[in-house]
Structure formats: structure tokens, C-alpha cells
Structure 1
Amino acid sequence: MDFHFTEEQLMIRDTAREFAEEQIKPIETEIDESGEYPKELIMKMAELGFLGMIIPEEYGGSGLDMVTVCLAAEEITKASAAVSLTMGLHNSLVGLPIIDYGTEEQKKKYLPKLASGEMLGCFALTEPNAGSDAGNQETTAVEDGDHWVINGRKQFITNGPVSDMAVLFAATDRSRGPRGISVFLVDTDTPGFNVGAIEKKMGISASPTSELIFEDMRVPKDALLGKKNRGFRVAVTTIDAARVGVAAQCVGVAQRAMEEAIAYSKERKQFGQHISGFQLIQAHIADMAVMVESARLLVYKAAWLYDQGKPCGTAGAMAKLYASEISTKVAHKAVQIHGGYGYIKDYVVERLYRDARIMELYEGTSEIQRISIALDMVKKG
């Protein structure tokens, strides 16, 4: 068992850390308060290769492993969970299905542009009546000559308003339920593709989330990704891998919250001494440190399994479940250590607390993770 990272992995982690410190942190509060998508910042990330880490070199990416992606994701998320979401999308939900299921033509069309930032992507699976029950797709795709005609609505789509292309799921045979879902690669300038309501969220404000509405949208037959009616399998395998990256983001939020709490405890004085000297504060810090490190180990085990080509679904679910829940707990403790100051926007822990809460909801709720883990445990006996 080797817990050491390679020189390349450490170099990329340090590059991400430097970028976060120099480019993101100076504007982290500004973009949270304004809610504006930091397109210029995202393009700088693309120039450094962070949008194409998982994309093979022959398609303009870096061809890196999941462990390296997680190292970078943690560092970027420490500065801004909202900014890290575009990086996460391109290196998982958008990039992976094209890599794993795309034709050569589809790979050449999309992957280089996703890696360079020329195109931004989104993953259009969730619907008003298809959240945790993702197989209940009401968006339909009907064959019409050399085209598919797509009608329906998607909900809570990250990057929806700013994307240039979408990995879009639709029912091609509703009578078959999850076995009748297909996937399409769709350019957002296609007639009939419309952005609906843009959500006002509790946290990750600089990451735009919206409805997508499709009205008689015609896409060519070759927009189909993979095989007809095999789209649910694409969703499951993609999300299994994506959860590993999300778990790394959770660790990033928790790590930053802990760092802020420790720094504050060493500055704040009460009863004539720094509060870091009080045992109750020390107990909070110890709990935070154990939770963060435990979550980090779960993340890198899941990432390692993925890189070895081994099943990582349950390991990813465990990592995502635990890391998301401790992210909230650590942020909660960070606010508590700050006292009343932690409740005002002048202190970053207030934002971290809001940002952490989404982690238990997207990419599968904690309840879904528990069901997935339990089913696998029972199956294995």
C-alpha cells in the first residue's frame, strides 16, 4: 500500500492550489454576492488544462487519472465550490460519457472544444418528476426520418444557461421505463432548445442552474450517444465515476472550513487567552480533522479503484455519502467556532456553510447513496 503521490500529481495539485490562491480567492466573495458566472476565470482554468484533465491527449486533453483530478478538485473547491463545478462537469458528467460511449466523430467534434473551453457542457438528466427516480424520464425523443424530435423539460441543470452543448437524456420508448432511455449530444443553439427559469439558490451562487425546455427540437440521427434505449446505463456508469469527483469537492469545502476555524481560533481572544487554548474548541478541531482526513481517504480509495479499472460504484457512493455529510458538519463547527461572526457575510465560513449544503443533494442524495451501498452489501452477503 502506497500513500505517496507521483511528482506529476503533486505538481498539478500545487498548480491548482496556486491558481486558487492567486486567481479565485481574491474574487470569491464578489462572485458569490453577484451570482455572476465567472467566464473569464473559467477560461483561465481551461488554459491551464483543468477542463480537460480526464480527456485523452489525442482529443486535446491531458489524459490524467482520477486521483489527479481529485487532487486538483479539492484545491479549486477550497477557494470556490461554484467555480469547481465547471471543472467537475467537464471531467466527469460531460466528458466521460463521450469518452466511453461516443463515436470517433462525436469525440473529435466535442472533446477538443470541451478541453479548451471553446465549448462549455452540461448534463441534462434531472427533470421535475425525475430526480432520485432518474429512470422516470418524461422528455421524449421520437424518430422522424433522419432526425429525432425532442420535447420536454429538464430541471436544476448546472451550467444550463451558459452551456454550448448538452448531454441530454430522453425517453425513446416510455413503455420500457429505464430500459427505454437514450442519450443525445445536442448543441444549445439548436432551434427548439430554450433556457427556462434560472434558479436563485442558497449557495454556489456563481454556478448558474436552470431549467432547459425543448420544443419540437430536431437533432440529427448521429446525435445519439451509444445505443438506442441504453441510455440509463450510460447515466449510471457516468454518475458512479462522477461521485468520486464530487466527494473530492466536499473534502475541499471541509478542509477550507477547518483551516478558517483554526486560523480564527488562534486570533480570537476571550477570557484573556486565544480560544484555541480552550479544550472545547480543541475538541471541535480534533473532530474536524478526523472527519476531513477520513473523507479524503475514502475519496482516494474510490479514485484509485476507478483508475485501476475496478468497480468503484459502491466506493464512490461511500465517499460521496460520508464526504458530503462531514462537509456540512465541519462547516457547522467552523461557524460555531467563529461564534456570531460566523453568521455574517464578512467571514468566509458563512458562505462555506451555505455551499456545503448542496453536497448532500446533487449527484444523488444521501438517502440514495445509503440505498445503493446497502443493496451492494446485501448482495455480497
Structure 2
Amino acid sequence: MKQDVFQAPDYYRIDDLLTEEHKLVRDTTRTWVKKEVTPIIESYAQKALFPKQLLSGLATIGAFGPYIPESYGGAGLDQISYGLIMQEIERGDSGIRSTASVQSSLVMYPIFAYGSEEQKQKYLPKLASGGLIGCFGLTEPNHGSNPGGMETNFKDKGDHYVLNGAKMWISNAPFADVAVVWAKNEEGRIHGIIVERGMEGFTTPETHNKWSLRASATGELIFDNVKIPKEHILPHKSGLGAPLGCLDSARYGIAWGAIGAAMDCYDTALRYAQERIQFGKPIAGTQLQQKKLAEMLTEITKAQLLAWRLGTLKNEGKATSAQISMAKRNNVAMALQIAREARQMLGAMGITGDFSIMRHMMNLESVITYEGTHDIHLLITGMDITGIAAFK
């Protein structure tokens, strides 16, 4: 089995900005990824299978709801710790990080922020421990970048609601125990609903034939006259701002996670360039390869500083949605460009499963689209600085 010899770049001594707790959380996650993820992930990606045995480990290292208070089963960590966990997991694989992101930011967060005390007590400890796995239903077949146009709806039937509609491109859907689903009531107001597996009329067909996130389970959520108890509605926030608040948390985690993928590609390319001999010397000694490596490290360093500053703003409750959009857009685009350059440096070897680069590249093609596309995030920044929405 190939040994994981990854070493993280820290050109600007960003470790000096971290607390001892931050570094302990990061190093614990890094050690787990080296032991449990990287030795198996290429095989699972090749077979397009999700390694379910990793779920218990993700729970053990605190990757499920790390910023949720300990009273509800979380680790009670700050936002920089959450970011570092996402960075290290995505260094292993974007799909595994997606599972942790969905569980934390799109399932546990809305229940914690918008749920009743009874809902928090019922679901959060089990989600934190991995006893329950969740998914998040917002995107629909006809509504991606415009979630406000959703067609999924629920109607009041007296002592219960009836839910109808469909969601797609849902991470964790094929095996999730619970789904936080967003649907419109009869007045057109968007509400969050907790749907449990086993409810009659609720099915989760799996999405196949993906070239990206192959080690992640993706599916649909189908609701055919699903009877929903009234106590399953999230009571404390409604409207489109409710699911968008969840997406802010997920996008923040992605801004950190993408750095992990970029660091892995950079580290792989650097090692290969130092070992690959052409024309009598390592290719690391040629100008063009040094240019690529220097530019990779520069962009990683900029992304690290951007994520760290955003994390401090999140901890202070000052981070805006637009700031989160900027970091998600910049850091994912950075990681994808580094993956492409690193692949070229490895030549034909770069397309094989002997190295992680091509898998990262394919994964990042999804990451640059989900939780808001590259272009939509640009327009969010444009709206923030001009006051004019270009996508309405």
C-alpha cells in the first residue's frame, strides 16, 4: 500500500496565526486522513463507490458539526477549526469532505439554528455521532441557481402536511437517514422540513455515470404524497434566506476545503519534479517547471490568508454572504487551476490513479459548480459592490 508522505506548504508561516487547539484539530484530522482515506480512496473512486466505513471515523474526529455546542453532541469548536477540518478532509478527497460539509452545514446547522428544542435534542446528538446521516434538499431539476423558483410544495391537511416534488444532485441521498428539505407552503413561503427515511412515498434513487465525485454518493429525493407530521417543520426561520444561510456555512467550509485539494496537487507535483530526470537533471531544475511551482505556492498562500481572515470574521459574527462567496469562488478556481498545471507536470502519469491529481481535478469540476456556480458568486460580489442585482 502506497505511503502518504504529504507535507503541507506554509510559506507565510500561517501556523503562527493559529492557536494550539487549531493545530491539534488540524493535525488530528490530517493523521486520520493519512491512515484511513488516502490508502483506499483511489480504489473507491475507480469503482465509483462511497466508502461508508469512513463515516464512523469522521464522527470520531469531530467532523460532524464541529462548531455545534457540546450540549447537542458537537465539539464546540470555532469556525477556523471547522475550516481546517474541511481542508484536511478535502486534501484526501472532495467527495468525503462533501459528506462532512452536508452533515455539518446543511443538516445540523439548520436544525440547530432554525429548529425547535425538541428537534435539536432528537436529531443533533445522533447526527454528531454518525448514528444518523443527513442530506439537504434544495436544488431541483428545473431550479439550480434560482432556488426561489422551487416547485416542491406541501399542503396542510389538518393534523399533518402532504409533501410533493423532487430534488436532485443531493450528496448523501442514497443512504441518508434524514433529509432537511426546502419546500413552499400554499402561500408560496419557503420552509424547512425534516423528512425521515421510511416515510411512505419518499424515495432516494442514486445518480450514476458521474465522472466527478466518484467516491461520493449522489442521488435524488422524490416526494410522492409524503405525509409529514407538523412537528417536522423547522419553526424559527422561513423564506429563501433560511436555506441560503445554510449555504453560507457550507461555502465557507468549501473555501477551506479547496485549499486542501490544491496543497495535495502542489505537493505531488513538487515531489515528482524533484525525482523525474529528463535531459540529465530533475525537471524541477527547469525554468518552466519552477514557474509553475512558484505560482502554485503563491496562489495557495493567498488562499490560506483569505480563508484565515474569513474565519476570524466568522468567529466575530462579522462575515458577510458576499465575503464568503468571494472566498469560495477564488479558492476553488485556484485549486482547479493548480490541479490542471500539476497534471501537466506529471505528463501521462498524471492521468493515472497512481497519483491523486486527476481525481482532484475531476472532483473540483463539481466543487466549482455546487453551492453556487463560479459565475453566480462573481455576480454576488458584483451586486455587493454596485447595489444592482445582475441575475434578476
Q: What TM-score bracket applies, with the shorter chain setting the length? A: over 0.9
Q: Distance in 2 between matches of 1:237 and 1:350?
A: 32
CA deviation map 1:90-119 (0-9, x unaligned)? 221111111111110010011001100000
In structure 1, C-alpha distance between the alignment counterparts of 2:211 and 2:118, rounded to whole Å: 40
The 2-side partners of 1:258 and 1:306 are apart by 28
Q: Report 1:304-315 matches (<5 A).
A: 304-315=312-323
Distance (Å, rounded) in 2 between the aligned partners of 1:9 and 1:2:
9
- Please name the residue that 1:52 is paired with: 65
Deviation of the 1:3 alpha carbon: 5.5
Alignment of 1:130-209 (within 5 A): 130-173=143-186, 176=188, 180-209=189-218
Equivalent position of 1:379 in the other structure: 387
Separation in 2, partners of 1:200, 1:251: 27
The answer on 1:62 being equivalent to 2:75 is: yes
Aligned match for 2:230, one of 221, 228, 238: 221
Higher RCO (C-alpha 8 Å, min separation 6): 2
Paired with 1:345 and 1:26, the residues of 2 have a C-alpha distance of 12
Matched position secondary structure for 2:181: strand
Q: How many residues align?
A: 375
Distance in 2 separating the partners of 1:350 and 1:2 = 29
CA deviation vs aligned residue, 1:288-323 (integer Å, no higher than 9, x gap): 111111112222222221111113311110110001
Aligned to 1:43: 56
Separation in 1, partners of 2:206, 2:345: 38
The 1:34–1:321 alpha-carbon spacing in structure 2 relative to 1, beyond 3 Å, is: same
The residue number in structure 2 matching 1:324 is 332
1:268 aligns with 2:276: yes
How many Å separate the matches in 2 of 1:40 and 1:263?
30
Structure 1: distance between partners of 2:335 and 2:244? 24
C-alpha contact (below 8 Å) 1:298/1:315 kept by paired residues = no
Q: How far apart in 2 are the matches of 1:52 and 1:37?
A: 20
The separation in 1 between residues aligned to 2:223 and 2:149, in whole angstroms, is 17
Residues 332 and 368 of structure 2 are in contact (CA less than 8 Å); yes or no, is this contact kept in structure 1?
yes
- Where 1:110 maps in the other structure, the secondary structure is helix
Does structure 2 conserve the Cα–Cα contact (< 8 Å) formed by 1:122 and 1:165? Answer: yes
Distance 2:134 2:383 in 1: 32
- Whichever residue aligns with residue 198 of structure 1, its letter is T
**Structure 2 spans left out of the alignment, 5+ residues:** 1-13
Deviation per CA, 1:6-56, whole angstroms, max 9, x where unpaired? 111110100001001111111011111122221111112212322131221
Residue 336 of structure 2 aligns with an amino acid whose one-letter code is T
Return the letter of the residue paired with 1:88: S
Aligned residue in 2 for 1:298? 306
The answer (yes or no) to whether the contact 1:241–1:312 under 8 Å persists in 2 is no
Q: Which runs of 5+ in 1 are unaligned?
A: none
Compute the displacement of 1:154 (Å).
0.5
Give the TM-score, by structure 1 length: 0.95
TM-score, structure 2 normalization: 0.92
Name the structure 1 match of 2:6: none
Alignment partner, residue 13 of structure 1: 26
In the aligned structure 1, how far is the partner of 2:274 from the partner of 2:127?
Answer: 43
Judged with a 3 Å threshold, the aligned counterparts in structure 2 of structure 1 residues 106 and 364 are, in CA distance, closer, same or farther, namely: same
The sequence identity of aligned pairs, in percent, is 36
Q: CA deviation at 1:123?
A: 0.6
Aligned-pair distance for 1:254? 0.7
Q: What are the Cα deviations for residues 63-96 of structure 1, in whole angstroms up to 9, with x where unaligned? A: 1111101111111111121111111112211111
Q: In 1, are the aligned partners of 2:174 and 2:206 still within 8 Å (CA)?
A: no
Whether contact under 8 Å (1:38, 1:206) holds in the other structure is yes
Q: CA RMSD in A?
A: 1.6
Q: What secondary structure is seen at the aligned counterpart in 1 of 2:329?
A: helix
Aligned 8 A contact 1:302 1:312 in 2: no
Check conservation: 2:65, 2:105, Cα contact below 8 A. Answer: no
Distance apart, 1:346 and its partner CA:
2.6
SS in 2 for 1:376: helix
Aligned to 1:286: 294
Give the drift of 1:227. Answer: 4.9
Shift of 1:345: 2.9
Secondary structure at the aligned position of 2:170 is classed as: strand
Q: Secondary structure at the match of 1:198?
A: coil
Aligned to 2:46: 33
Say whether residues 1:83 and 2:96 are aligned partners: yes
Distance 1:134 1:248 in 2: 25
